[in-house]
Amino acid sequence: MKISIVKIGGNVIDDPQKLDEFLYLFARLEGKKILVHGGGVMASKFGERLGIQPNMVDGRRITDAETLDVVTMVYGGLINKKIVAKLQALEQNALGVTGADGNLIRSAKRPVKDIDYGFVGDVKEVDTELLDTLLEKDIIPVVSAITHDKKGNLLNTNADTIASEIATSMAVKNTVRLYFCFNKAGVLIDENNDDSVVTKINEDIYDELKKDKVIHSGMIPKLDNAFSALDKGVSNVWLGKAENLVLAAKGKKSGTNIEKHRYDLY
């Protein structure tokens, strides 16, 4: 079975028009598909309304008990159900889930080392049974960035990581393509210039760009997950603007393709 796994970022989710445009394109994506979403921008705004200031380190959210309540309500409730309802309007039968539903994603609370991330989960296992069942019935799973530890606790978990872990688990028996859609044209040499996109990147180039501080903050976990997915059997990984999703799926030049082999940057 060929499966497309698409992760959509919070900057697109936070803009109603951009979200509608993306979901229209996602609906046009052929074949079996899974949508993974975060929603950090909206979670931060709702938290601030409640007097809870976001605390980010290297692109990852420090999650205390109050913040966990906020992200659970925003990711697993408001955003997830809005996306499902919009997909239904596009004749796309969808079902919204967290990692706790159907024991989909089990995580462990991240151990404290240099930083205490709080109630943040590191994925330990993806049980693909629920996803297999839904896809066989032509139902699109819409997965929010909340997992569980099977001890009764929910954990905030990076949505890029969830997309990557689902992709690698599904790749054991399927041909899987992974798409990271967000508000940038791809990996950029100049983050303020969409024309500076790096069309292909491998680990050597990635290391150089990190060293030069061209790649930093939230882009680091995104690319770490992309390379991890390729290492574990995912066929293709792409990163770029949400509006270029269909072009990327058809092999048209757009965004950044993540690859393992060596080649020249220019």
CATH number for the domain that contains residue 217 = 3.40.1160.10
Higher pLDDT, 212 or 120: 120
Q: Assess if residue 265 is contained within a domain.
A: no
Q: Assess if residue 266 is contained within a domain.
A: no
Query: According to the model, what pLDDT value does residue 264 have?
Result: 41
For residue 66, name the pLDDT band (cuts at 50, 70, 90): very high
Query: According to the model, what pLDDT value does residue 147 have?
Result: 98
Which residues, including other chains, have CB under 8 Å from residue 28's CB and lie 6 or more apart?
246
Residue 257, token pair as written in the block: 């393709």
Query: Is the CA virtual torsion 187, 188, 194, 199 positive or negative?
Result: negative
CA 130 to chain centroid: 19
Mean pLDDT computed over 121-144? 96
Q: Assess if residue 14 is contained within a domain.
A: yes
Give residue 139's domain range: 2-258
Which of 186, 195, 162, 166 has the alpha carbon at shortest distance from 248? 186
Number of folded domains in the chain? 1
Q: List, as residue ranges, the binding site for substrate.
A: 39-40, 61, 156
Q: Assess if residue 263 is contained within a domain.
A: no
What is the spatial distance between Cα 141 and Cα 236, in angstroms, rounded to a whole number?
Answer: 20
Mean pLDDT computed over 203-212? 88
Mean pLDDT computed over 121-138? 96
Q: List, as residue ranges, the binding site.
A: 39-40, 61, 156
Q: Assess if residue 264 is contained within a domain.
A: no
Mean pLDDT computed over 174-197? 89
pLDDT of residue 265 exceeding 60 = no
Where does residue 69 fall: left (phi above 0), alpha (psi -120 to 50 degrees), or beta otherwise?
A: alpha
